[in-house]
Structure 1
Amino acid sequence: MRTGVAILSLVSVLIPAASTQFTLADVYVGNDFFNGWSWQTINDPTNGRVNYVSQGVARGMNLSYATDTKFFMRADDYNIVPPNTRGRNSVRILSNKAYGDSLAVLDLQHMPEGCSTWPAFWSLSQKGPWPAGGEIDIIEGVNMDTQNLMSLHTSPGCTMPQQRLETGTVTSTNCDANVNYNQGCGVQDAAGSFGVPFNARGGGWYAMARTQQDGIRVWFWPRDSPDVPLAVRAPVPGLFPTIMPDPTWGAPVAAFPIGPYCDYAAHFDAHQFVFDLTFCGDLAGNVYTSTGCSGSCVDFVNNNPQAFTNAYWEVNSLRIYTATETPYPPIV
């Protein structure tokens, strides 16, 4: 009897109870970011050597700019940073809208790279206060990393099973932000999903789906992959008014199933999205010499503006779809 229960438990982790169809809600391309997002000028919560600037300052310094088809955010790569300032000028933006059950598809051409950099694309609870309502890290890495890390950070009482249907490698299973210095529950992708090799391939697509029924899942397809779903690669609204992760998407890189080990409603509510680029800080600074860099992280940030020429985001588009449940046919 115990064996049967164990099998059923494993099946419930590997096979979601429902599939979900998503309808396009918002598209952010080029100048849409200037109208639909806010430039945050807060002190960096992760203690980075960074000075987040307003939209006006960012546009005046050419740290945020757009074309009809592209949106760019970058670090200052011209100026020495005086020791008595917050840090190197950079950008952190927050979506004005928050989304519940949804699918976000990011077409990204280039992400910040190089020693001291800590770029991330993620979402967090609009209601908060953090970590209440949850955090979902879709893109994150530091310094010369080549592997993307996807993580959840939550209030207490959320853990993940070690075995799941995903292609990434589990790095941690306790999502509680109060445990192990806010490591969260993470899954690491293969080499080439982050940093220099990601950019050398012309970027790619990240998709994050979150629903009560299917949990939280993240996919990644590099630009040169033959397996990119057509609705992701060429999302023509007339052809694809809706989108649904189906078997052609393959297994996600990271799967965070929801169940008795992590109650969805208790840990995740409507989220706003964030792009940011900080330097050094709690993560990039602490692992600076073990992730391909040498010397002092802070000194590097202060005194080497030319090293930040490739520390920029180049976003082709971000599409947000909202969810409509579509149950699977009954098993007979």
Structure 2
Amino acid sequence: MRTGYVPLFLAAAAHAAGARFRLNQTYVGRDFLDGWTWETADDPTHGRVNYVDMHTALSQNLTYASSTKFVMRADDFSVVPPNQRGRSSVRISSNRAFDESLIVLDLAHMPEGCSTWPAFWTLSQKGPWPHGGEIDIVEGVNLGTQNLASLHTTPDCNMPQQRLQSGQTTSTVCDASVNYNQGCGVSFSKPASFGRPFNQQGGGYFAMARTKADGVRVWFWARGDRNTPQAISNPDALSVPALSRRRWGAPEAAFPTAADKCGYETHFDAHRMVFDLTFCGDWAGSAWPATCGPLNCVDYVNNNPKGFSDAYWEVNAVRVYTPY
């Protein structure tokens, strides 16, 4: 992992004048092996998955890294016996946690296919969940093609139906104890923000900014999108003036944290970043019949290893900027 002190001047990540961020941490290639932890606990979303440790992941080629790429993937070579925990996969969490910050994910490929449930998200290091909050930046299931960004919080955090965003509000109650932990979500409007279409275009960029003044915002730009801010597509040139809303555009998802609706300091603290890939479970399993046909989701996971050949993350970089 690499630290940097090249200034990036952003107005609450392209919204409110005055907030300044600088590069704090960069994870590229082998940096992930030193700066992240491989989690092996049972999946809290009840997926048909066996999360393995780093040694196992490396030895089975479920994790590998070069100087410029980092890959995490599902086992696509084994039939899973019914008495085993599930198909082997990877879940990693950053060792460092960040409060107010801008996180930029440069992603070349995300897991796709029936039964898959990939996510890139953040959650409170202090916890216990949902205390301190959860922010889902990249998430979807099965054959979905539109990304969903969401918050999951303790009670008394609600979002307005209408706000400055280009995505579509799917739910407004962030309280994790309501609506079976649906959280407050926004479905992206830009095409190919998830799944196979995302991968076919060579991936893209996700950016999540969180500040006390303006709450949480998530942007997406496809690879090659001419509207991608230069600070995102060309991160080596990070000496730029405060970016205007005109340059960044409206976020796909906006979650304002007004004191009387969802106070930032009440519901959010320093978060670790998480990548994971599970199968079936609470969401992908329940959505399976509508998208993936008559087969049973768990049976599919157990008996079709080749169905997971495209179930992998290929990460170019994760960059974290913090205020100063």
TM-score (norm 1): 0.90
**Alpha-carbon distance in structure 2 between the residues aligned to 1:164 and 1:285:** 31
Partner of 1:240: 238
Partner of 1:178: 177
One-letter code of the match for 1:193? S
**Bigger Cα Rg:** 1
**Alpha-carbon distance in structure 2 between the residues aligned to 1:100 and 1:243:** 23
CA separation of 1:16/1:65 partners in 2, compared to 1, >3 Å: closer, same or farther?
A: closer
Partner of 1:192: 192
CA separation of 1:40/1:16 partners in 2, compared to 1, >3 Å: closer, same or farther?
A: same
TM-score (norm 2): 0.93
Contact map agreement 1:143 1:293 (CA 8 A) in 2: no
| Residue 244 of structure 1, CA deviation | 5.1
CA separation of 1:311/1:198 partners in 2, compared to 1, >3 Å: closer, same or farther?
A: same
**Alpha-carbon distance in structure 2 between the residues aligned to 1:283 and 1:69:** 33
Contact map agreement 1:22 1:244 (CA 8 A) in 2: no
Contact map agreement 2:123 2:132 (CA 8 A) in 1: yes
Partner of 2:21: 22
CA separation of 1:158/1:268 partners in 2, compared to 1, >3 Å: closer, same or farther?
A: same
After TM superposition, the structure 1 = structure 2 runs for residues 76-115 of structure 1, keeping only pairs within 5 Å, are 76-115=75-114
Contact map agreement 2:151 2:184 (CA 8 A) in 1: yes
One-letter code of the match for 2:59? G
One-letter code of the match for 1:169? Q
Deviations 1:97-148 (A, max 9, x none): 0000000000000000000000000000000000000000000000000010
Partner of 1:276: 276
* RMSD, aligned CA: 1.4
Contact map agreement 2:115 2:285 (CA 8 A) in 1: yes
| Residue 292 of structure 1, CA deviation | 3.9
| Structure 2 alignment gaps of length 5 or more | 1-13
One-letter code of the match for 1:137? D
After TM superposition, the structure 1 = structure 2 runs for residues 160-309 of structure 1, keeping only pairs within 5 Å, are 160-190=159-189, 191-236=191-236, 239-241=237-239, 245-247=243-245, 248-259=247-258, 260-309=260-309
Contact map agreement 2:15 2:244 (CA 8 A) in 1: no
Aligned residues: 308
CA separation of 1:134/1:279 partners in 2, compared to 1, >3 Å: closer, same or farther?
A: same
Contact map agreement 2:36 2:93 (CA 8 A) in 1: yes
**Alpha-carbon distance in structure 1 between the residues aligned to 2:243 and 2:309:** 36
**Alpha-carbon distance in structure 2 between the residues aligned to 1:156 and 1:243:** 38
One-letter code of the match for 2:110? M
**Alpha-carbon distance in structure 2 between the residues aligned to 1:77 and 1:305:** 4
Percent identity, please. Answer: 61
